[in-house]
Amino acid sequence: MDKDTYQARIKRCTEMMKTEGCDILLLTKPSNMQYLTGDGRLCAYAMITTDAKVAMGVPKTDIEDVKQGAFFHHIVGFEDEVGMIHSIAHYFEHFNLKEGTVGLEFTFLTQSMMGIVTHPHAKPKDVMPKDCTPILSGLRLVKEEREIDLLRQAAVVADIGMKAAIEAVKQGITESQIAAEAEYAMRYAGAEDFWRTYLSSGPRTGIAHGLPTNRKLETGDLVMIDIHPIVNGYSSDICRTVCVGKPSNGKQVAYNLYLKAQQASIAKAKAGIGMVELGEAMHGIIRDGGYGEHIFGPPIHGVGIDFEESPLPPGHAFFHGEKEPPPLPVNVVIAIGNCGLYTDSWGVRVEDTVVVGQQEPIVLTRYPYSLEVK
């Protein structure tokens, strides 16, 4: 991204700050910092004023590295938490902000991190904290063309990871080893990093968040593979379920139903659709198929710099500090198929990253669907 991109984003940000009644932002969430400054690193912060000034604080070791890629007007290095606190106070003074509101990321800050950024030695006492999650989610909701390109590249890498994982599926290999194959292939295909890999098998496919274990695959097991590469700062989200050997009829029927439901939801991913309607397109078919009691988790979430971001479904959004998303405009990017179908002894899940299109959805992840490994 070039300087103009960040300036335009910060301009939009300041407009939303004014609408929301936020006098300054104090961001620490890497993805939000990356979006507005081009640099999203751990243990750092960015302050944004309503007149579009950007001030950063980073570990003192990192200043030169940040300077090479980030867009900002001021930068300071700090040595530790005390230094960080003092540098925040310095910026409040520099910007002459003695009262008003400071936007903080309530969905990201733990109580103890909140204690640092609102410490009496950091924040002036008459500046009141306010959740800025809706501002940042609103800003990042619709993807720019350049972002769609990056998400497309990440999806290509996700497909390569899925291929490697599925080709490794065989009796005796462990869940963790299949994860290794996916991650290895994604890194060699250009992922600089990845988010958590979910990998479960057999009865463990029936749980909601199956992280990999050393369980060995047995014939007849289902294997659920959910991977999330990061490529040039953008993420992708793909999930496939496959069977070790020939699937039983019951598993195949459930898989077919789930895939039908997911595809029906994907088909509706066009501008103007609501999150509830999109989720319902999926849940309705699963319910009609007799598996209504076997769903867990919202079927859809946004994908961008983070592999899970806004938009979120209304109920879920509320509890994650988000606003209910509006009818989706074109170029919102979502993962469809997150809810899963979980029986007592196994589960299936199929998920793809999809661009909400004007006329048609654009499916970014393209790995073929098949419960049986060909």
Of the residues 50, 213, 252, 370, which one makes contact with a copy of itself according to CB under 8 A: 213
User: Contact region for a copy of itself (CB under 8 A) — 137-145, 234-242, 292-300, 359-367?
Assistant: 292-300
Cβ–Cβ under 8 Å, residues 1 and 40 = no
Q: CB 109 → a copy of itself: shortest distance, Å?
A: 6
- Per-residue DSSP letter, 247: P
x/- letters, 61..80, toward a copy of itself (CB under 8 A): xx-xx-------------xx
Of the residues 20, 131, 277, 308, which one makes contact with a copy of itself according to CB under 8 A: 131
What distance in Å separates the CA atoms of residue 328 and residue 60, rounded to the nearest whole number? 42
What distance in Å separates the CA atoms of residue 46 and residue 41, rounded to the nearest whole number? 10
Cβ–Cβ under 8 Å, residues 194 and 165 = no
Of the residues 16, 108, 289, 330, which one makes contact with a copy of itself according to CB under 8 A: 108
What distance in Å separates the CA atoms of residue 105 and residue 25, rounded to the nearest whole number? 9
Of the residues 51, 120, 145, 319, which one makes contact with a copy of itself according to CB under 8 A: 319
- Return the number of the residue (321 or 329) whose C-beta is nearest a copy of itself: 321
Q: Is 38 in the site for a copy of itself (CB under 8 A)?
A: no
Q: Is 120 in the site for a copy of itself (CB under 8 A)?
A: no
Q: Is 296 in the site for a copy of itself (CB under 8 A)?
A: yes
Q: CB 28 → a copy of itself: shortest distance, Å?
A: 12
Q: Report the length, in residues, of the chain.
A: 374
Would you state the structure tokens that stand for residue 34, as one six-digit string?
């990356």
Q: If 0-12 CB within 10 Å is exposed, 13-18 middle and 19+ buried, where does residue 159 land? A: buried
The secondary element (H helix, E strand) that includes residue 245 is none
* E-only strand ranges, 256-314: 300-302
Q: CB 183 → a copy of itself: shortest distance, Å?
A: 6
Angle of the 3-20 helix axis to the 30-37 helix axis, nearest 10: 120
Provide the sign of the torsion angle of the four alpha carbons 316, 254, 286, 354, taken in this order.
positive
Q: Is 12 in the site for a copy of itself (CB under 8 A)?
A: no
- Return the number of the residue (134 or 361) whose C-beta is nearest a copy of itself: 134
Please list the residues that pair with 357 across neighbouring strands.
Answer: 270
User: Contact region for a copy of itself (CB under 8 A) — 49-57, 244-252, 318-326, 364-372?
Assistant: 318-326
Of the residues 57, 59, 134, 337, which one makes contact with a copy of itself according to CB under 8 A: 59
Q: If 0-12 CB within 10 Å is exposed, 13-18 middle and 19+ buried, where does residue 13 land? A: buried
x/- letters, 188..207, toward a copy of itself (CB under 8 A): x-xxxx---------xx-xx
Of the residues 12, 53, 187, 270, which one makes contact with a copy of itself according to CB under 8 A: 187
Range 257-276, binding a copy of itself (CB under 8 A): none
Q: Is 308 in the site for a copy of itself (CB under 8 A)?
A: no
Pairing of strands 222-227, 362-363: unpaired
What distance in Å separates the CA atoms of residue 138 and residue 325, rounded to the nearest whole number? 9
User: Contact region for a copy of itself (CB under 8 A) — 140-148, 243-251, 342-350, 353-361?
Assistant: 342-350
Angle of the 133-141 helix axis to the 3-20 helix axis, nearest 10: 130
Q: Is 212 in the site for a copy of itself (CB under 8 A)?
A: yes
Cβ–Cβ under 8 Å, residues 362 and 354 = yes
Residues near a copy of itself (CB under 8 A) are 41-43, 59-62, 64-65, 79-82, 106-112, 114-116, 131, 133, 175-177, 179-180, 183-184, 187-188, 190-193, 203-204, 206-209, 211-214, 294, 296-297, 315-316, 319-321, 340, 342, 344, 347
